[in-house]
Amino acid sequence: MIFTVAIDGPAAAGKGTISRAVAEAFGFAHLDTGALYRAVGVKGGDPVEAARSLTPEDLSRDDLRSLEAGQAASRVAVIPEVRAALLDFQRRFARRDGGAVLDGRDIGTVICPEAEVKLFVTASADVRARRRWLELGGEAAPRALADVLAEVQERDARDMGRTDAPLRAAADAQVIDTSALTSAEAIAQAVALVAKALQR
């Protein structure tokens, strides 16, 4: 069975948590496409060459979840040649047999416009910054909450403002706003939407 679930949204909205849970619930393969861009960003050197030569080892680095890796990902993601180099990999993964869940910023709009389910997971910038700040250690974090909020807003502006595949909800995406939801509630919403599509 070929069945693609495309999950998009801004940083720290909860799309990774939801994507992993949806994949597990239905036995689908999961790809965090942001990890591809994070890996390219932290590899250093020429970003286009880094994208063309990505290996599985690059995707298992310990530093891919760091704030620095996220900022690096956002910087290389605006380069059209980097996006082109990673496009085929993502599309092949999406249409693999057995079902696939991909999360990122342009899955439903560019990578898999034909996806059977498209979700756009979002939350307010304040909520997302607080989540990221708590991930970094809260009061013990190396950055103040205000600094993390500024970084989240800067990243949003870059992701939404880029000319190639900007972050936006697909016209037929179903929006899940996690601002006031627990992760369990958000996951339940997503699983219900996928289950409904599978029944059709």
The reply to whether 17 sits in an annotated binding site is yes
Check residue 12 and give left, alpha or beta (phi > 0: left; psi -120 to 50: alpha).
left
Report yes or no: 37 and 147 within 8 Å, Cβ to Cβ: no
**Close Cβ partners of 66 (under 8 Å, ≥ 6 residues apart):** none
The reply to whether 44 sits in an annotated binding site is no
Strand partners, 120: 8, 175
The reply to whether 10 sits in an annotated binding site is yes
The reply to whether 13 sits in an annotated binding site is yes
DSSP H helices, 100-169, are 125-135, 145-161
Report yes or no: 13 and 108 within 8 Å, Cβ to Cβ: no
Number of alpha carbons in the 13 Å side-chain half-sphere of residue 52:
8
Q: CB 86: neighbour CB atoms within 10 A?
A: 22
The reply to whether 16 sits in an annotated binding site is yes
The reply to whether 34 sits in an annotated binding site is no
The reply to whether 113 sits in an annotated binding site is no
Q: Which residues are annotated as a binding site for ATP?
A: 9-17
Q: Which residues are annotated as a binding site?
A: 9-17
